[in-house]
Amino acid sequence: MAKSLFDKIWDAHVVKAIPGGLEVFYIDRHLIHEVTSPQAFDELQERGLPLSRPKQILATADHNVPTRNQHLPIQDPLSRSQVDKLTENCAKFGVELFGLGHQYQGIVHVIGPELGVTQPGMTIVCGDSHTSTHGAFGAIAFGIGTSQVTQVMASQCLLISRPKRMRITVDGELRPGVTAKDIILYIIAQLGTGGATGYFVEYAGSAIRSLSMEGRMTVCNMSIEMGARGGLIAPDATTFNYLKGRPYAPQGERWEQAVAYWQTLYSEEGAEFESELTFDAAAIAPMITYGTNPGMGIALNSSIPVLGTDGEAASFNKSLAYMGFKPGESLLGKEINYVFIGSCTNSRIEDLRAVAAYVKGKHKAQHVEAIIVPGSKLVEKQAIEEGLDQVLAEAGFELREPGCSACLAMNDDKIPAGAYCVSTSNRNFEGRQGPGARTLLASPLVAAITAVEGRIVDITQYVN
Amino acid sequence: MEKFQTLRSGVVPLPIENVDTDQIIPARFLKSTTREGFGQNLFADWRYQPDGQPKADFVLNNPRYQGQILLAGKNFGCGSSREHAAWALYDAGFKVVISSYFADIFRGNALNTGLLPLQVSDEVLQGLFRQIELEPETQLVVDLPSQTLSIPVWDAAIGFELDAYKKECLINGYDDIDYLVSQRDAITTYEQLRKWVF
């Protein structure tokens, strides 16, 4: 029977099927960070269990780290103790750690791919819902809770049931100014914030294949925002070219063997999907969100909808009240106070280049605070090598040091209550960027233009 | 994990859809390295003013609603994978969350915490919201062995679905780790068979 990409990888990782539907599912790579791992290490020790496969774990400090003065001790005692605990646990259990100060430190979903740790055909988990990012390489990657982090630590396996399969095909050519971020914000707006719950999504079609690896990562990253367990894209020449020569990618003869295997990873003609959706790339416009979940997105030049159905009206109204917007109104012309470019969705070199290319020779609006937080030390290094830091500085943008930063505001990078922030991150939930902060999700290009204009504009007139 | 068999309790209604885990426990409270104490910050930004005073209009601050069952709008627990959301609910005294559907990761985290995510139809959920609004003291009975939710005031009992293995775990207070560790031989055999891949 014709097999889907998802089934090929999933089936290859079933250690044992248990009557009733659960499976013992093998995990190739386990990524950990300081926020969701300490309780798991403690649990392991309380039960007197060894760490099953330390070599298959990679650790970094990202969620809680400052983005200024990373060479100094962390000021916040709670953040410091969490990061210290990670360092201590990694040393004790023999786990490789790219902590603060390390040349490879960065956001866990940025460093895995850029180091070549993430590879096609793998299963990858992390105590973080945006683990779906790694699916861009044709891997089954998904976020797990801390109890599951303990399970993987103890056994290198999870006890889970197989999700349903969905294929989302985006065919055609993108319009100028429309990026990977717009594609995924558009898809989420069509499906809603819970529209893919229970599914694992394969993204396909010419518009997806034409994306760079950075773009594919942006798409897969936000799969969770429509409830999907994860998202993945069949690996191809773009994937192999990206991986070749990366520090943790296979080398020499092993590289040839790996590519031969990776080339078998695609959905065969006639493969089954419980749900299939197709979108026309040309119908997608630059997007922005107006509400408090990522499904509440619209084309920049359209208007906020007028109420949902009765059952949804209360939540919809609560959301708009929080944002200070009215049903039916346009966002064009709204003044913006902050622009945040960063997060595991959009903090890669391509994102920084897109911003720098637009702001070169321009300057941010006076009243806007614009910060750029690179996804990793390697991204930061490359940006400096390419002179992007100069371009950004001259445009009034502040280039910080790597971390999750204002995406979830665990560190000092918070948006004040009531302020509006156009953000390249992935969540516009109430208070996500700080208590009372109002987040509008958009692409790096939209964010850059907004920073310069100081208000929301229809970007189609700014791009050729 | 504590055992769960049967619960008779009042209900705390939260008729909001798409409640994300950032609302259940905001990220700035995730800095602890232990599992305890998250309950005091459950729904922190909905529950407290910036100065820490309780917001009178939030349901957890309303003494009319008491109980260990949270009744919530559809797609409860979406967003971040933080298990701290399930820990916070459990730490605050909740043993059951009823909704018309749950986000996948939250559902798994809840079951691993000993918190029962009980899924009902949209119709039943709306009926329960109306019932609780009308009579806040309404009691519900959740019986896990028979997988039924009883609503004595309606003289009705509704079945709910739960994976048979997960049900056994909850009833007996087991978690997945013991089982997975017991599979060590099968896992090692599997690893040897597919060594060539990586």
pLDDT tens digit string along B10-54? 999 999 999 999 999 999 999 999 999 999 999 999 999 999 999
Is A284 domain-assigned?
no
Please tell me what DSSP assigns to residue A282: G
Is A438 domain-assigned?
yes
Query: Is the pLDDT at B192 greater than 60, yes or no?
Result: yes
Q: For residue B126, which residues of chain A lie inside 8 Å, CB to CB?
A: 311
Q: For residue B82, which residues of chain A lie inside 8 Å, CB to CB?
A: 35-36, 145
A220 is in an annotated binding site: no
- Identify residue A25 by its one-letter amino acid code: F
The ipTM is 0.96
Q: Counting beta carbons within 10 angstroms of the beta carbon of residue B109, is it exposed (0 to 12), middle (13 to 18) or buried (19 or more)? A: buried
Is A282 domain-assigned?
no
A220 and A137 in a common domain = yes
Q: For residue B191, which residues of chain A lie inside 8 Å, CB to CB?
A: 26, 156
Is A281 domain-assigned?
no
Give pLDDT, residue A312. Answer: 74
**Final residue of a domain: which of A219, A249, A276?**
A276
A182 and A158 in a common domain = yes
- Name, in order, each residue with C-beta under 8 angstroms of B95's C-beta and a sequence gap of 6 or more: B4, B7, B9, B68, B69, B114, B115, B116
- Using CA atoms, how far apart are residues A416 and B148, in angstroms rounded to an integer? 46
A427 contact B CB<8A: yes
A408 and A353 in a common domain = yes
A130 and A105 in a common domain = yes
Question: What would the two tokens of residue A464 be?
Answer: 């050729």
* Beta strand ranges found along A164-286 (DSSP E): 164-171, 199-204, 230-232, 275-280
Collapsing DSSP to helix, strand or coil, B166 comes out as helix
Is A94 domain-assigned?
yes
Check B163 against A408: CB less than 8 A apart.
no
A300 and A271 in a common domain = no
Q: For residue A24, which residues of chain B lie inside 8 Å, CB to CB?
A: 180, 183, 186-187
A221 and A193 in a common domain = yes
- Using CA atoms, how far apart are residues A337 and A360, in angstroms rounded to an integer? 21
Give pLDDT, residue A464. Answer: 67
A308 and A259 in a common domain = no
Check A435 against B50: CB less than 8 A apart.
yes
* A142: closest CA of chain B, how far (Å): 10
Check B187 against A157: CB less than 8 A apart.
yes
- Using CA atoms, how far apart are residues A165 and B156, in angstroms rounded to an integer? 36
What phi, psi does A22 have (nearest 5°)? -80, 155
* B130: closest CA of chain A, how far (Å): 13
- CATH number of the domain that A89 lies in? 3.30.499.10
A305 and A267 in a common domain = no
CA dist list (Å): A61 to A1, A25, A253, A379, B52? 44, 27, 33, 16, 30
Is A38 domain-assigned?
yes
Residue A23: beta bridge partners? A17, A160
Is A429 domain-assigned?
yes
**Final residue of a domain: which of A221, A252, A276?**
A276
A319 and A269 in a common domain = no
The pLDDT tens digits for B52-77 are 999 999 999 999 999 999 999 999 99
**Final residue of a domain: which of A218, A242, A276?**
A276
A302 and A244 in a common domain = no
A238 and A272 in a common domain = yes
A404 is in an annotated binding site: yes
What mean pLDDT comes out for the span B126-143? 97
The answer to whether A126 and A118 have CB atoms below 8 angstroms apart is no
* B148: closest CA of chain A, how far (Å): 20
With residue B87 as reference, give the H or E element that holds it.
helix B84-91
Q: Please identify among residues 70-109 of chain A the ones whose CB lies closer than 8 Å to any CB of chain B.
A: 76, 78-79, 81-82, 85
* A129-A130-A133 Cα angle (round to 5): 140
Give pLDDT, residue B194. Answer: 81
A420 and A384 in a common domain = yes
- The structural domain count of chain A equals 2
Would strands A164-171 and A199-204 be described as parallel, antiparallel, or unpaired? parallel
% pLDDT > 90, chain B: 95
Check B20 against A427: CB less than 8 A apart.
yes
A157 is in an annotated binding site: no
The answer to whether A147 and A183 have CB atoms below 8 angstroms apart is no
- List, in sequence order, the alpha helices (H) in A202-246: 206-209, 213-221, 237-243
Is A331 domain-assigned?
yes
Q: Which of A14, A129, A191 to mutate to test the interface with B (most CBs of B within 10 A)?
A: A129
Owning domain of residue A370: 290-461
* A199: closest CA of chain B, how far (Å): 9
Check A410 against B20: CB less than 8 A apart.
no
Confidence of residue B198 (pLDDT cuts 50, 70, 90): low
Q: For residue A35, which residues of chain B lie inside 8 Å, CB to CB?
A: 30-31, 82
* A131-A136-A138 Cα angle (round to 5): 100
Domains of chain B and CATH, by start: 6-193 (3.20.19.10)
Query: Is the pLDDT at B156 greater than 70, yes or no?
Result: yes
Give pLDDT, residue A461. Answer: 87
**Local confidence pLDDT in tens for the 464 residues of chain A:** 899 999 999 999 999 999 888 999 999 999 999 999 999 999 999 999 999 999 999 999 999 999 999 999 999 999 999 999 999 999 999 999 999 999 999 999 999 999 999 999 999 999 999 999 999 999 999 999 999 999 999 999 999 999 999 999 999 999 999 999 999 999 999 999 999 999 999 999 999 999 999 999 999 999 999 999 999 999 999 999 999 999 999 999 999 999 999 999 999 999 999 999 999 999 999 999 999 999 999 999 999 999 765 557 888 999 999 999 999 999 999 999 999 999 999 999 999 999 999 999 999 999 999 999 999 999 999 999 999 999 999 999 999 999 999 999 999 999 999 999 999 999 999 999 999 999 999 999 999 999 999 999 999 989 86
Please tell me what DSSP assigns to residue A424: S
Entry pTM? 0.97
